[in-house]
Amino acid sequence: MAEYKKIVIFGSTGNTGLCCVEEALKLDYEITAFLRDPSKLPEELTSKVKVIVGDVLKEDDVETAIQGQDAVIIVLGTRNDCSPTTMMSKGTKNILEAMQKSNVKRVSVCASAFNFWDREKVPERFHNILDDHTRMLDILKNCDREWVAVLPPHITNDAGTKDYMMEHGKGPGRTISKYDLAHFMVTCFTEDKNLKQWCGLCDKPQ
């Protein structure tokens, strides 16, 4: 198995993204944080990561960030904005194309457990996000990289346990700690069994 030492994280200042940065640092990875607004990166992390300020929709910015990396984590999101968007799918396309140019093979990508559902069962206010996640996953499915799609349910601020449930091809439960989600995002592509799988996560029942 290849060794993964250098990881670039796209979406590194979001709720899950920050947890991914912190988890990857605990595991002694060398982290590049790709972000639009450096003021959103907590001060205690700025000296521990390489920061690249850029726009995921600009191909040159993305290519610069991916050069020299061993793996990629994509946790793009719109925060609480549920209006129509193509940012996540277009950003993912740019990232995957840059990975191919730089011969970076492995990537974990965060979408949503709603992608396991029939669309008509998803609350309408989430349809725009679901639609772009669907486009993103279609792009992922048709690429030649070694990808893992992570489809979490409702993400909580509960403490992580690293003892959570994961199943391929379905969502096993209703909630997952953001810390456990980050743990899986950072570690899932180190196991071949997860490659080219849709991975559902949830907290273990108490």
Q: What is the pLDDT of residues 123-161, one digit of tens each?
A: 999 999 999 999 999 999 999 999 999 999 999 999 999
| Catalytic hit among 19, 20, 143, 188 | 188
Q: Is the predicted pLDDT of residue 2 greater than 70, yes or no?
A: no
Q: Is the predicted pLDDT of residue 1 greater than 70, yes or no?
A: no
Q: Is 138 a member of any domain? A: yes
Domain with residue 26: its CATH number is: 3.40.50.720
Q: Is 168 a member of any domain? A: no
Residue 188 annotated as catalytic: yes
Q: Is 161 a member of any domain? A: no
Proportion of the chain above pLDDT 90, given as a percent:
95
User: 182: closest CA among 205, 204, 161?
Assistant: 161
Q: Which domain holds residue 63?
A: 6-151+190-197
| Catalytic hit among 20, 110, 199, 202 | 110
pLDDT of the residue at 194: 96
Distance from C-alpha of 97 to C-alpha of 89, rounded to nearest angstrom: 12
Determine the longest span between alpha carbons in the chain, in angstroms.
47
- pLDDT tens, position by position, 95-118: 999 999 999 999 999 999 999 999
Residue 20 annotated as catalytic: no
Q: Is 164 a member of any domain? A: no
Q: Which pLDDT band, with edges at 50, 70 and 90, does 81 fall under?
A: very high
pLDDT of the residue at 189: 85
Q: Classify 30 as helix, strand or coil.
A: strand
Rg (alpha carbons) of the chain, rounded to whole number: 16
- Overall pTM > 0.75: yes
Residue 162 exposure: Cα atoms within 13 Å on the Cβ side: 5
- Average pLDDT of the residues of the chain: 96
* Number of domains within the chain: 1
Q: Which pLDDT band, with edges at 50, 70 and 90, does 79 fall under?
A: confident
- pLDDT tens, position by position, 45-64: 999 999 999 999 999 999 99
- pLDDT tens, position by position, 186-205: 999 888 999 999 999 999 98
Contact of 172 with 165, CB cutoff 8 Å: yes
